[in-house]
């Protein structure tokens, strides 16, 4: 993974942010670990990652895409995992999310295929993550979420570059 890269992500509405934060707080309490996930950005679905050299072009793209894309609902339907490190809420990918993703379809940072998700917890310790997995499954209730904007950021360290609302 490169040292620095840009990420475009779909941002949830305030109610979804609160619901995911409450679940994450319970998970962190249960794990007795804060995890290593980024907590200084809103909960989101990553749309694509890009080289830092594309910042200006991506700013224009975010402006353009958001000026013609309406807010939309999405169901966060269950808990899922990436291996033994990452616990996330998984959405049902609908046409609106697929279309938004297609506008930012690049995976510069890690080369993995796109898998829509909202990260809740990351830790390198398998025993901690295993405990979190069971707890998250037991305590998760599906969430009717709303995508309300697109944010562009740089990682690592985290730097918010811009956020643009979708059409209401």
Tokens standing for 3? 């040292």
Question: Can you give the pLDDT at residue 152?
Answer: 98
pLDDT at 93: 97
Question: pLDDT truncated to tens, each residue of the chain (168 aa)?
Answer: 788 999 999 999 999 999 999 999 999 998 888 988 988 899 999 999 999 999 999 999 999 999 999 999 999 999 999 999 999 999 999 999 999 999 999 999 888 899 999 999 999 999 999 999 999 999 999 999 999 999 999 999 999 999 999 999
Burial of 152 (0-12, 13-18, 19+ CB in 10 A): buried
- Whose tokens are 């279309």? That residue is 99
**Can you give the pTM of this predicted structure?**
0.94
CATH architecture of 5-165: Alpha-Beta Complex (3.90)
Measured from the Cβ of residue 15, the count of other Cβ atoms closer than 10 Å reads: 12
Report pLDDT for 19.
97
The ranges assigned to domains in the chain are: 5-165
Q: How far is CA 112 from the centre of its chain?
A: 15
């Amino acid at each position: 993974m490169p040292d620095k890269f840009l990420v475009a992500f779909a941002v949830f509405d305030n109610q979804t942010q609160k619901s995911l934060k409450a679940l994450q707080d319970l998970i962190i309490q249960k794990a007795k670990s804060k995890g290593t996930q980024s907590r200084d950005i809103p909960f989101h679905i990553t749309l694509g990652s890009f080289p830092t050299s594309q910042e200006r072009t991506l700013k224009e793209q975010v402006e353009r895409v958001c000026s013609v894309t309406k807010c939309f609902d999405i169901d966060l339907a269950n808990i899922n995992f990436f291996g033994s490190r990452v616990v996330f809420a998984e959405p049902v990918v609908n046409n609106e999310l697929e279309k938004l993703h297609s506008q930012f379809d690049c995976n510069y940072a890690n080369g993995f295929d796109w898998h829509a998700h909202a990260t809740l917890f990351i830790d390198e310790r398998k025993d901690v993550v295993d405990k979190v997995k069971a707890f998250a499954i037991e305590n998760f209730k599906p969430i009717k979420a709303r995508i309300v904007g697109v944010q562009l950021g740089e990682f690592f360290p985290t730097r918010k570059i811009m956020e643009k609302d979708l059409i209401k």
